[in-house]
Amino acid sequence: MVAKLEEVAAPHSTFDTILVLDFGSQTSHLILRRLRSLNVYAEMLPCTTKLADLPWKPVGIVLSGGPSSVYDEVSPHVDPAIFDMGVPILGICYGCQEIAWRINDKNVQRGEKREYGQTDVDILTLDGQQDHVNRLFEGVEANTEVTMSHFDKLVHLPEGFVTIASTPSTPYAGIAHKEKPIFGIQFHPEISHTKRGMDILGNFATKICKARDNWKMENFIEKEIIRIRKLVGENAQVIGAVSGGVDSTVAARLMKEAIGDRFHAILVDTGLMRLNECEQVKKSLSDHLNINLTIVDGAELFFSRLAGVTEPEAKRKIIGGTFIDLFEKEAIRIEEEAKHTPHAGKVEWFLQGTLYPDLIESLSWKGPSATIKSHHNVGGLPARMMNGQGLKLIEPLRELFKDEVREFGRQLGIHEELIMRHPFPGPGIGIRILGEVTPERVELVRQADHIFISSIREAGIYNEMSQAFAALDTSRAVGVMGDSREYGYICILRAVSSVDFMSAEPYAFDSKLILKIANRIPNEVHGITRVVYDYTGKPPGTIELE
């Protein structure tokens, strides 16, 4: 059985960390991405996090925006202890209001009108003040364009603060404490339409927090290999889930570098894989990367457990639980074989390629009820993975975004075609079928997906999109094939562009190409009579359909 996480990726001891406390804004993750693009390490936690529970101390704290009003009874509030830590604080939008409201609950009120979109803000340079007051906007012109998104606003200047930015309708668009390094801004520097947003975040991170800009993949790899070797020890065995995607491949390659053949990569053929998936994974991992790989045939077991199940979360949990069942059996087999190998120890660790967006989307300050969906690498796993007994979970990529993982993979020498491969979810085609999962329906998705992806590759646009796939709506629609009437399934095509997979836009296909694909699928895949293209962005949708 698999036990509670013992975190392997703990950069806080090596890299200065800026903590982003999330109040539920749709752009909170962008704050992290902007800071990391400045080579400053940042991590996000729910706004209700108790600072006493943190085993590390941040060099600075950012309070994100959020959809709530600070004066409502049910609104979230930050642990007051952050104001006694002696580290710089930057409040953005709701975070700025949180700072002002804590000083006096009359400082924040509903504005007379909403202020959304682009706004010119006046930067006020104050003479005779301590240097830190002007440091947030250092190098930013006196009038600059920013992105606003608020209705509530500061109606009084908080005691002990001065005004450092304003607009005609928001007199306190920027505030700074006279003595402490505490700042608040009513606009969003993390959004690209704020022209000098990167400079403002850079000023806060490097000039105010004094964070070192050493968050670089080559530094992370070296430290991570040392950390893994120390954590795992000299004899313990590690088993790891692989799928052939970039996340699990990079994680597997890292483990191979750290502990050699004591790492055992396991690919479970769930029966929910894409066309020729297992053969491709074997070629990439075993033949090219020399990773110790075992393929387990579990298709029959997965289909039997999924029979009659239609609810998405139930599917995810069943697939996650079945994964672990098969891994436990494989761990026993590997451990038995290891007894006959000199200096080989027990199987003590379980590797997963969990990424940071998986964690963010599976956590909320409101608790589990606000979770959009559980991820197969997080909430979708059975509860016994967190029960404190058996295997320990190791997730060396859990601090990284997708683009960082790709750069990580390049540093590890993984070939570019695999690095740029579109993500494939752990539950596989099982969450790309709206309704019950059956072998017949999976095969339809396989064939349609193969046509879709091969057409994209032939057109030379595969790398222009972040993820593309075919899915199946098990509702049926009438089609005409030759002179006969058919009643078949509806194929859903989805392709998105995204930087970090926290938000995404539908890919804008050339109309001739998408029409060609839409004609090919019903003609070549018997059982599908209609093809539709999903134009939903994220938000309001998610990238996967379930």
CA pair distance 264, 164, nearest whole angstrom: 57
Q: What are phi and psi of 438, to 5 degrees?
A: -130, 160
Quickly list DSSP for 48-111. T--GGG-SS--SEEEE---SS-TTSTT-----GGGGGS-S-EEEETHHHHHHHHHH-TTSEEEE
List binding-site positions. 243-249
Give the residue among 467, 492, 471 at the shortest CA–CA distance from 429.
Answer: 471
For the question of residue 159 being annotated catalytic, the response is no
Q: Count the residues in the chain.
A: 546
- Given 29, 43, 47, 93, the catalytic residue: 93
- Given 43, 115, 190, 399, the catalytic residue: 190
| Spatial CB neighbours of 327, under 8 Å, sequence gap ≥ 6 | 2, 239, 241, 266, 268, 350
- Given 29, 188, 375, 376, the catalytic residue: 188
List binding-site positions for ATP. 243-249
Give the residue among 360, 352, 374, 359 at the shortest CA–CA distance from 245.
Answer: 352
Please state, as a whole number, how many other Cβ atoms lie within 10 Å of the Cβ of residue 102.
16
Tokens of 102: 């804590």
Distance (Å) of CA 304 to CA 273, 356, 424? 16, 32, 22
First to last CA, the chain: 27
Quickly list DSSP for 450-503. HHHHHHHHHTT-GGGSSEEEEEEEEEEEEEEETTEEEEEEEEEEEEEE-SSSSS
Q: What are phi and psi of 435, to 5 degrees?
A: 130, -160
* Residue tagged 């058919």 (tokens): 486
For the question of residue 43 being annotated catalytic, the response is no
| Residues 75, 106 contacting (CB under 8 angstroms) | no
Please state, as a whole number, how many other Cβ atoms lie within 10 Å of the Cβ of residue 250.
27
Tokens of 152: 């509530």
For the question of residue 47 being annotated catalytic, the response is no
Which positions are catalytic? 93, 188, 190
